[in-house]
Amino acid sequence: MTSMESDKCWQECMDVAVQIARSAGQVVREAVKQEKRVSTKSTPADLVTEADHQVEELIISTLRERFPSHRFIGEESSAAGEKCILTDSPTWIIDPIDGTCNFVHSFPMVAVSIGFAVKKELEFGVIYHCFEETLYTARKGQGAFCNGLRLQVSKEKDVSKALILTEIGAKRDPKTLKIFSGNIEKLLSAPAHGVRIIGSSTLALCQVATGAADAYYQYGLHCWDIAAAAVIIREAGGVVIDTSGGPLDLMSRRVVAAGSQEIASYIVQQLQPISYERDDNGHSTQ
Ligand code: IPD
């Protein structure tokens, strides 16, 4: 494929992703009104509902019909034992309901997230806030948008003026929780303006892209929580890196994202790591 052909082809994929994210969001809005059957996965805090499965099936079957040669990584397919490995093939990376715990409680921070990578490079990301009906999109090299309006990160460099977001992750053993609270404590005594937890990694990351938050970090999220959001933040002018300060590793279950390299580096220096098994280690794990 020439670069013009691939450009056209990935644009077509992105247009389909937008349509399917909106349809999936509608299914989520209906499903939240119904009684939910909730099960747990890796830990009692790692929830899944019938709606997660239904929405993932809807997204993947629609995309597979349209793009039969593409590969798929989906949260629930991975939990069911499908391999979560990124190859050079065009690959869709899907979280059908990000913020499942919020969904279970009808807490209105729930998103559908669709990322797309080719040759292991993220090409575009689409995140749909199901209840606000806001659509975050970005394509590599073409900017990031929310409902069509261009996004820009805050560019804040001073951590003492920063609002920082994080998420808890599924592990809740005492040692993990101690490190988790210790990390928050360090940032609060920086002193950052505040630290927030909203229950959806993808929507929290979108807040960094809009400039409403200055940074985000987390241990324990998955590739489907980061893929789409990483393109959106980078295209909004932000930084998305590994918690070690090196380049982002999509399968590593950890991330620091920020509106400036200065704040990202500051957070990297403060964090004590929490270890999680990689997404591509072959098991479905914590
Ligand atoms: C989870 C949520 C949660 C975060 C987890 C994610 P899910 O996604 O984003 O806030 O702490 O790390 O895996 O399970 O609701 O799709």
- Digit-by-digit pLDDT tens for the chain (286 residues) are 788 888 899 999 999 999 999 999 999 999 999 999 999 998 999 999 999 999 999 999 999 999 999 999 999 999 998 889 999 999 999 999 999 999 999 999 999 999 999 999 999 999 999 999 999 999 999 999 999 999 999 999 999 999 999 999 999 999 999 999 999 999 999 999 999 999 999 999 999 999 999 999 999 999 999 999 999 999 999 999 999 999 999 999 999 999 999 999 999 999 999 999 999 986 443 4
- The predicted pLDDT at position 255 comes to 98
Let me know: does 259 contact 215? Beta carbons within 8 Å: yes
What stretches of the chain show up as alpha helix (H) in DSSP? 3-31, 50-66, 75-79, 100-104, 174-188, 201-210, 223-235, 261-270
- ∠ CA 21-56-135 to the nearest 5 degrees? 15
- The predicted pLDDT at position 4 comes to 83
Location of structure tokens 């992750």: 169
Measure the N-to-C terminal CA separation of the chain; round to a whole number of Å.
Answer: 39
Structure tokens at 244: 């070690």
Rounded Cα gap, residues 281 and 279, in angstroms:
6
Q: Is 241 a catalytic residue?
A: no
Residue 199 alpha carbon to ligand 1 centre in Å:
7
Structure tokens at 55: 């929405």
The DSSP line for 165-209 is EE---S---HHHHHHHHHHHHHHHTTT-SEEE--S-HHHHHHHHH
Q: Whose CA is nearest to atom 15 of ligand 1?
A: 99
Location of structure tokens 């999680």: 276
Neighbouring C-beta atoms of residue 54, cutoff 10 Å: 17
- The predicted pLDDT at position 282 comes to 65
Residue type, 31: A
- The predicted pLDDT at position 284 comes to 41
- Please state the atom number of ligand 1 nearest to the C-alpha of residue 95: 16
- The predicted pLDDT at position 7 comes to 86
Let me know: does 156 contact 42? Beta carbons within 8 Å: no
Where b means 16+ CB within 10 Å and e means fewer, 63-92 reads beeebeeebbbbbbbbbeeeebebeeebbb
Q: Which residues contact ligand 1 via a Cβ below 6 A?
A: 75, 95, 97-100, 167-169, 199-201, 220-222, 225
- The predicted pLDDT at position 286 comes to 45
- ∠ CA 86-246-158 to the nearest 5 degrees? 125
Sequence-separated contacts (24+) of 43-50 with Cβ below 8 Å: 43/170, 43/171, 43/172, 43/286, 44/172, 45/101, 45/168, 45/170, 45/172, 46/170, 46/286, 47/100, 47/101, 47/104, 48/76, 48/79, 48/100, 49/97, 49/100, 49/103, 49/104
Residue 99 alpha carbon to ligand 1 centre in Å:
5
Q: How many CA atoms lie within 13 A of 274 on its CB side?
A: 27
Residue 37 alpha carbon to ligand 1 centre in Å:
18
Q: What is the pTM of this model?
A: 0.96
- The predicted pLDDT at position 153 comes to 98
Let me know: does 139 contact 123? Beta carbons within 8 Å: yes
Structure tokens at 271: 């964090």
Where b means 16+ CB within 10 Å and e means fewer, 132-166 reads eebbbbbbbeeebbbeeeebebbebeebeebbbbb
Q: Which of 38, 47, 221 has most ligand 1 atoms within 8 Å of CB, for mutation?
A: 221
